[in-house]
A and B are shown apart, each in its own frame.
Chain A
Amino acid sequence: MALQQIDQFAAKLRPDTRAAVYDGSKKGHEKRTAVLFDHYPDPDHLRRLAGNIKQHVVENLDTLLPAAAAALERNGVKVHWASTAEEANAAVLAIMQARGAKKMVKAKTMVSEETHLADYLGKNGVECVETDLGEFIIQIDGDHPSHIVKPIIHKNRREIATSFEKHGLGAYNDDPQTITRRARAHLRRKYLEADVGLTGANFVTADTGRLVLVTNEGNSRFCLAATKCHIAMVGIEKLLPRETDLGLYLNLLARSGTGQQLTVYTEFISGPRSPAQPDGPEEMHVIFVDNGRTEALASECREILRCIRCGACLNVCPVYRQASGHAYRSVYPGPVGAVLSPLLAGERFPELADLPKASSLCGACNEVCPVNIPIPDLLLRLRARGKEAGAKNAAAGTPPMGAWSLLATQPFAWRTSLTAGHTLNYVPKSLIPVPPMQTWLRDRTLPAWRGGAFRKWMKDRAKK
């Protein structure tokens, strides 16, 4: 019986990496819970409300997207549509080339991770510098983010100090303030040199075409302060119907993601520089990216498109804490990733069909989700899909259920096997050639077999 890849990854994970991921996630979850329940008498009510509004968005993209695009254009924004990652990257490059631009500074955006934008631009002669500190460290290390909000949750400061030294950012020093100061000095120059600033968007309001960005480092502001052109790559599900909805979502996002009331910087961007708004880039583009989302929308798991990328489900997930984000082999790790990544993979679904198995279905993810996504249900639906698709990696380690279902539909056979099971009490268990039982027994004992004892007791009392 082959083994589950994520379990294997977890088994080989370095203890200090596991400790870093565990500590970071646990702290994130504890801060989130304290702040939410401290500030609201019934956060669950807010989560349900936010879930319903986002579900409305997901089910009405056909009208909300054109409305958002029209509002953005009224604000002087050029709107682009990209069906695939390739189209999205090409749209960015075309904007750069039209301006003769060679240098980009970039804020953290998950959708650009999906499209591998930085690599693509690099191959096409454009320097693309990550300006979020975590993403910057990922970039110089040639690493991948392992968390949606905290991309380097898997690293400790000693590792970071080592890579700073390696990349000419000063002699080894693992003091966090020194690391930050060095990165800042390096990045300030990059902001000034860049022609274009690229961001994502946390929300786009369909009624007013306002783009909302939340950050804690202020790097997205720098990206837009010194550059002439702003490009925003935005997943098509990022819409909110109305500006008045922002209050709900901003309050939930910061609390769920980082345990803050509000992130340090919340930017509301309503178009490029204009007489009414004399600051900011003179040119602004929004690229709406599909990249598998309409397929997810048409699927049995469309609720996943409510996700606002807060990372709360990662922080609380016991499997994520044991395995780390890299175990998921995709841009989106953790519970949300176990649903979203196989969906966004399209035809490559079978390659990631094991991800939905990486859950004890404990439901903690649903309990903390600010948009109340029923993640365990979606994991289950994708397990059923993986089974139908005959995905071998998904089946690994799962006992086959055919014989069991046969027994469990025939009471006589069931009762007989309850009696026959007593053999377990007499034969050395290590000799029983049933792989799942041997796996169980590696780390655990099995209680004595008592098959049929209760039924006999019930019968005996009935006779009395």
Chain B
Amino acid sequence: MAHAQSALITPSSRPAGKRVQMMATCLCDAFYDDVARATVEVLEHLGCTVEFPEGQTCCGQPAFNGGDWEASRRVVRHTAKVFAGDLPIIVPSGSCAAMMFHGAPLEFEKQPDLPEIEALGKRAWELVDFIVHGLGVKTWPGRYQAKVAFHRSCHSRGTCTGPAALALLSSIAGIEVVPFGEGEQCCGFGGTFSVSFPNVSKGMGTLKLEHIRAAQPDVLASIDMSCMMHLGGLAEKDGKPIKTLHVAQILRDALKNA
């Protein structure tokens, strides 16, 4: 068995180009349709043709993280079938992208179809990573008037996504990116962790919210809606709601003031 070098490394030599497939993610499919729309609109603004394979469901991460690798592999195989071809696959989630390029190959280590799964992973791009490193876009036009706290979601650790998102956001007129304490710490979502370790998860999220609130942002932004669902949900339940957005939504809305 090959030993892993690091938990997460963005794959090198991924396909770029302006014809792309989009994976909406199950969270956007169920809750955050506007994030998926913003993703399409942002990509189209950049001249991309976006295909949306109708048969798509989920990246397989819930079962992968839960330890049920058999169930997860079934879903990953389905995804590989639905996203056949060689186009870049753009995902508005660092977490789902990491599942595709890192998680899935891990659970397929001993499977005969590992090469297909690895090939699928090498086509997966987190949206902002694709915009900056796939399409070479370094700054963003338009205006967005807000103090933005950017939550560096954990599945972008070790990948190019965090710096890419910060660079894009900082380049938008009107945006002030406000740093906050312990930015390297997890928000406590962690997929099924959020319900199997509810007390620890809440403790982590509460701490994160304290740090974020201290920076007094207008908007909390991330490239993962899972973290936003958790933090936003905690804040709302606590009676002190915060505005959460996906970076794609900010990019799209900035264009309206271009």
Q: Which residues of A contact B (CB under 8 A)?
A: 4, 6-8, 10-11, 26, 48, 51, 55, 300, 302-303, 316, 318-319, 322-323, 356-364, 366-367, 372, 374-377, 380-381, 383-387, 394, 396-402, 404-405, 407-409, 411, 414, 418, 421, 436, 439-440, 442-455, 457-458
On whether the beta carbons of A360 and B186 are closer than 8 Å, the reply is yes
Lowest 9 CB-CB distances: which A-B pairs, in order? A360-B190, A444-B233, A397-B196, A383-B67, A362-B186, A405-B71, A454-B33, A387-B67, A453-B33
Q: Which residues of B contact A318 (CB under 8 A)?
A: 185-186, 188, 200, 204, 207
The verdict on B86 contacting chain A, using a C-beta distance below 8 Å, is no
On whether the beta carbons of A387 and B68 are closer than 8 Å, the reply is yes
Q: Which residues of A contact B234 (CB under 8 A)?
A: 443-444
Cα A249 to Cα B12 with chains together (Å)? 30
B residues 29-74 near A (Cβ < 8 Å) are 29-33, 36-37, 40, 52, 54-58, 60, 62-69, 71-72, 74
Cα A397 to Cα B40 with chains together (Å)? 36
Q: Which residues of A contact B1 (CB under 8 A)?
A: 300
Q: Could you list 16 further interchain pairs (A-B, Cβ under 8 angstroms) beyond the known A401-B62, A445-B233, A454-B24?
A: A319-B204, A322-B199, A357-B67, A360-B190, A364-B154, A383-B65, A384-B107, A397-B197, A399-B192, A402-B71, A408-B26, A411-B55, A411-B56, A439-B195, A444-B230, A448-B31
In the complex, which of the residues A48, A55, A361, A418 contacts B193, with contact meaning CB atoms closer than 8 Å?
Answer: A361
Cα A306 to Cα B142 with chains together (Å)? 50
Cα A359 to Cα B36 with chains together (Å)? 29
On whether the beta carbons of A303 and B67 are closer than 8 Å, the reply is no
5 contacts between A and B (CB under 8 A): A362-B186, A405-B72, A405-B75, A440-B194, A455-B29
Distance (whole angstroms) from the CB of B152 to the closest CB of chain A: 11
Q: Which residues of B contact A302 (CB under 8 A)?
A: 3
On whether the beta carbons of A383 and B237 are closer than 8 Å, the reply is no
Cα A376 to Cα B204 with chains together (Å)? 18
On whether the beta carbons of B197 and A7 are closer than 8 Å, the reply is yes
The verdict on B13 contacting chain A, using a C-beta distance below 8 Å, is no
In the complex, which of the residues A11, A362, A377 contacts B199, with contact meaning CB atoms closer than 8 Å?
Answer: A11
On whether the beta carbons of B237 and A445 are closer than 8 Å, the reply is yes
In the complex, which of the residues B66, B182, B189 contacts A399, with contact meaning CB atoms closer than 8 Å?
Answer: B66
On whether the beta carbons of A408 and B57 are closer than 8 Å, the reply is yes
The verdict on B203 contacting chain A, using a C-beta distance below 8 Å, is yes
Knowing A360-B154, A362-B186, A408-B57, say if A55 contacts B3 (CB, 8 Å).
yes
Mark each residue of chain B from 105 to 134: 1 if its CB lies under 8 Å from any CB of chain A, else 0. Answer: 011000000000000000000000000000
In the complex, which of the residues A363, A443, A445 contacts B157, with contact meaning CB atoms closer than 8 Å?
Answer: A363
On whether the beta carbons of A366 and B33 are closer than 8 Å, the reply is no
Q: Which residues of A contact B107 (CB under 8 A)?
A: 380, 384
Q: Which residues of A contact B184 (CB under 8 A)?
A: 316, 364, 367
Residue from the set B3, B82, B202 with the largest chain A CB neighbour count within 10 Å? B3
The verdict on B78 contacting chain A, using a C-beta distance below 8 Å, is yes
The verdict on B175 contacting chain A, using a C-beta distance below 8 Å, is no
In the complex, which of the residues A300, A408, A457 contacts B37, with contact meaning CB atoms closer than 8 Å?
Answer: A457
Q: Which residues of A contact B103 (CB under 8 A)?
A: 380
On whether the beta carbons of B4 and A361 are closer than 8 Å, the reply is no
On whether the beta carbons of B37 and A455 are closer than 8 Å, the reply is no
On whether the beta carbons of B66 and A398 are closer than 8 Å, the reply is yes
Q: Which residues of A contact B178 (CB under 8 A)?
A: none
Distance (whole angstroms) from the CB of A462 to the closest CB of chain B: 9
In the complex, which of the residues A7, A362, A399, A405 contacts B154, with contact meaning CB atoms closer than 8 Å?
Answer: A362
The verdict on B8 contacting chain A, using a C-beta distance below 8 Å, is yes
Distance (whole angstroms) from the CB of A44 to the closest CB of chain B: 9
Knowing A300-B1, A449-B30, say if A414 contacts B232 (CB, 8 Å).
no
Knowing A7-B198, A323-B200, A444-B230, say if A407 contacts B68 (CB, 8 Å).
no
The verdict on B160 contacting chain A, using a C-beta distance below 8 Å, is no
Q: Which residues of B contact A444 (CB under 8 A)?
A: 229-230, 233-234, 236-237
Knowing A6-B197, A360-B204, A399-B195, say if A445 contacts B30 (CB, 8 Å).
no
On whether the beta carbons of A404 and B55 are closer than 8 Å, the reply is no
Cα A385 to Cα B202 with chains together (Å)? 27
Distance (whole angstroms) from the CB of A210 to the closest CB of chain B: 27
In the complex, which of the residues B24, B31, B69 contacts A449, with contact meaning CB atoms closer than 8 Å?
Answer: B31
Distance (whole angstroms) from the CB of B159 to the closest CB of chain A: 10
Q: Which residues of A contact B58 (CB under 8 A)?
A: 404, 408
Distance (whole angstroms) from the CB of A24 to the closest CB of chain B: 15
In the complex, which of the residues A386, A405, A411, A449 contacts B74, with contact meaning CB atoms closer than 8 Å?
Answer: A405
